[in-house]
Structure 1
Amino acid sequence: MTSRTATIAENATWRGSLNNERDSLANAVRETISSHREYLLDFIHLNEPAPYQTMTLAEWSRSSALQTLIATYSDHIYRNQLTQPRENKPLLSLWAQWYLGLMVPPLLLALLMQERAIDLTPEHFHVEFHETGRAACFWIDVQPDDVLTSCNDAQRISALTTYAMLPVVQALEATGDINGKLIWSNTGYLINWCLGDMIPVLGEGRVAALRQTCFFEKQLADGSDNPLWRTVVLRDGVLVRRTCCQRYRLPDVQQCGDCTLT
């Protein structure tokens, strides 16, 4: 066998081994999610070819693309109230709730219930947007992250915050129409709910430690400021959202059942 032929064969073997590893991890994550909350797989696709219309964060966060998405979503929200002045702050708040509300729960499940961790950097995530302009479905190119695999819960939460969530918040904050603190408040409320839902599988003690890490430590495990700090607070023995998400300001959008304003 010539040197060139041997090299080609070695490369093919290496690529095949890598693909098998990726598919194995994707299947393991899929089974983990399915065993706890199967409905999450309705909007999370793992190692499946992403449709042509999907976009990475780098693509949808471009000013022209994001303006188009938000304008489409605004037209949808205000479709029955055409003369009502439009407010971008609550609109972006709700748009972000859709985006992070679909992306974060399955990732949190995978990170806390799966030994091997997936790479959370944004280029591995493609999002398909609904015809109304909000996020509808994610297509994840599953890549193993050996460094994150060796990390503890606090370090995994830090990675989820820094690599998966922070770039989304920064992109929306860059519009000048919303303060990132409002998006973090909404996301903290979401994560707290997810952790409560995971008590049967993680246990009271581990969830209590995770809540301490998420909401009552000023710094993340990597030493950076924790944007989830005090996004939920203890009132009458229960962790509740700290601030209103502002969705009540939008037409035909129901107020949250536990709104801080009621």
Structure 2
Amino acid sequence: MIPSLAPLFQGAFASYAPMLRLAAAGEPALPLVALFEPDALRRQLHRFRPDLQGEDERALLSIWSKYYFLYLVPPVLGANLILQRSLPIHPSAMHLELNQEGLPSCFVLEHEGASVPVGAHPLTRFEPLIRENMETVISGWQQALGLSPRVLWSNASRYIRWFLGELEKAGLPAMMWQPGKAILECETFADGSANPLAGAYRERLNQNTGDAMIVRRTCCIRFRLPDMPLCEDCPRLCKKGQMAQAPTVARQSS
């Protein structure tokens, strides 16, 4: 754990404390940019799900990427919103520890970060997360295995939305989590370029039940793999005859 971030990892968020540490001399962890190389990325995907080797590798990468975003978003976005701290998370400055299953177990940073960027635009403070880290890894993975960036941005949006909801449910003052809503609501950055996370969720009518539901704009395509049910916020649930099924295997993605 990074000592300066200790106040963040309390209560329900204590489990995220081991997810960040500072780099050591002769750092043994894998440079994050190494996972932009197709063969290196495939090795981790096959460690993650050896039973799916030979299946659609883009769908497999989509599932793997969910773990990446699930583990990255809470400590990084929490540090930004609660501690007003921006962490050094450009992939060129990060290493990654992977567990025996090929999943991220720790993000290794070069230093403890600095105060969040000051700017009038609501997305300025989140640009290191969105434009430096997410945009770079999404581009790298798209070039490596051909997975649509829309799928990967949608996967990232899922955990941003979830974490902001967790902060709200934890009873934190609105001033601590409310600014984060701009990530999914603000359509452009200060320079006028489009925010790929804007409008990631929308209300749709479930054609099977007639109920309105909030779903992601883009499916994660994990349905292309055997025994994978639809996510509970999958847009395919709104199509007639498409329904979430109980998993038929014990191990499922986040």
> Which residue of structure 2 aligns with residue 16 of structure 1?
none
CA distance in 2, matches of 1:209, 1:171: 28
Check conservation: 1:77, 1:250, Cα contact below 8 A. Answer: no
- The alpha carbon displacement at 1:29 in A equals 1.3
Of residues 99-108 and 150-159 in structure 1, the stretch that sits farther from structure 2 once superposed is 150-159
Are the structure 2 counterparts of residues 198 and 50 from structure 1 closer, same or farther at C-alpha, using a change threshold of 3 Å?
farther
> Which residue of structure 2 aligns with residue 13 of structure 1?
none
Report the RMSD for the aligned CA atoms in angstroms.
2.9
Of residues 32-41 and 93-102 in structure 1, the stretch that sits farther from structure 2 once superposed is 32-41
- The alpha carbon displacement at 1:108 in A equals 0.5
Of residues 120-129 and 108-117 in structure 1, the stretch that sits farther from structure 2 once superposed is 120-129
Of residues 128-137 and 104-113 in structure 1, the stretch that sits farther from structure 2 once superposed is 128-137
- The alpha carbon displacement at 1:119 in A equals 2.5
Going by fraction, where is helix more abundant, 1 or 2? 1
Where structure 2 has 5 or more consecutive residues not aligned to the other structure, the ranges are: 205-210, 237-242, 244-254
Check conservation: 2:98, 2:105, Cα contact below 8 A. Answer: yes
Are the structure 2 counterparts of residues 244 and 120 from structure 1 closer, same or farther at C-alpha, using a change threshold of 3 Å?
same
Are the structure 2 counterparts of residues 107 and 222 from structure 1 closer, same or farther at C-alpha, using a change threshold of 3 Å?
farther
One-letter identity of the residue aligned with 2:118:
S
Where structure 1 has 5 or more consecutive residues not aligned to the other structure, the ranges are: 1-22, 80-84
Q: Percent identity over the alignment? A: 25
Check conservation: 2:123, 2:186, Cα contact below 8 A. Answer: no
- The alpha carbon displacement at 1:187 in A equals 0.9
The partner residue of 2:32 within 46, 57, 66 is: 57
Which ranges of 4 or more aligned residues in structure 1 deviate by more than 6 Å?
Answer: none
> Which residue of structure 2 aligns with residue 14 of structure 1?
none
Cα deviation code 1:228-250 (max 9, x no counterpart): 02111245887532232122332
- The alpha carbon displacement at 1:151 in A equals 4.6
Check conservation: 2:57, 2:145, Cα contact below 8 A. Answer: no
CA distance in 2, matches of 1:120, 1:67: 23
Are the structure 2 counterparts of residues 59 and 232 from structure 1 closer, same or farther at C-alpha, using a change threshold of 3 Å?
same
> Which residue of structure 2 aligns with residue 201 of structure 1?
172
CA distance in 2, matches of 1:180, 1:59: 19
- The alpha carbon displacement at 1:49 in A equals 3.6
One-letter identity of the residue aligned with 2:6:
R
> Which residue of structure 1 aligns with residue 135 of structure 2?
166
The partner residue of 1:142 within 89, 95, 111 is: 111
CA distance in 2, matches of 1:207, 1:182: 25
- The alpha carbon displacement at 1:33 in A equals 2.6
What TM-score does the superposition give when structure 2 sets the normalisation length?
0.76
Check conservation: 2:215, 2:234, Cα contact below 8 A. Answer: no
- The alpha carbon displacement at 1:218 in A equals 2.1
One-letter identity of the residue aligned with 1:55:
L
> Which residue of structure 2 aligns with residue 40 of structure 1?
16
What TM-score does the superposition give when structure 1 sets the normalisation length?
0.74
One-letter identity of the residue aligned with 1:114:
L
CA distance in 1, matches of 2:173, 2:42: 41
Cα deviation code 1:193-251 (max 9, x no counterpart): 11111112142x7645532x222322123433211021112458875322321223323
